[in-house]
């Protein structure tokens, strides 16, 4: 059941990232681009967590998922601090 939730979250993040990327490309707004990067990172994070559920206890992928999530969050934080002013 958790695999389905991770897959749906990944698809939602991916669609959000694509829509934000298209909007950023057309209007050339930097904050939209950084938000798209954040959502692509969250999609990758959910894909890693989905793979972790599929692999099972043989391989622990939580460190990789946490690193991807941290990079995504810090990219959006950078955008909100420096690009938003």
pLDDT digits (tens, 9 = 90+) for 19-51: 999 999 877 788 899 999 999 999 999 999 999
Quick check: helix, strand or coil at residue 69? helix
**Nearest alpha carbon to residue 41 among 82, 6, 71:** 71
Confidence of residue 85 (pLDDT cuts 50, 70, 90): low
Look up the pTM and report it: 0.89
- Hey, how many other C-beta atoms are within 10 angstroms of the C-beta on 34? 20
Stated as kind and residue range, the H or E segment containing 52 is helix 30-55
């Amino acid at each position: 059941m958790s695999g389905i939730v991770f897959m749906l979250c990944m698809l939602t993040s991916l669609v959000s990232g694509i829509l934000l990327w298209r909007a950023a490309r057309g209007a050339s707004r930097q904050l939209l681009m950084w938000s798209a990067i954040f959502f692509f990172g969250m999609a990758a994070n959910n894909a890693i967590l989905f793979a972790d559920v599929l692999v099972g206890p043989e391989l622990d992928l939580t460190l990789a998922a946490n690193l991807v999530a941290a990079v995504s969050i810090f990219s959006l934080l950078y955008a909100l601090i420096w690009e938003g002013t």
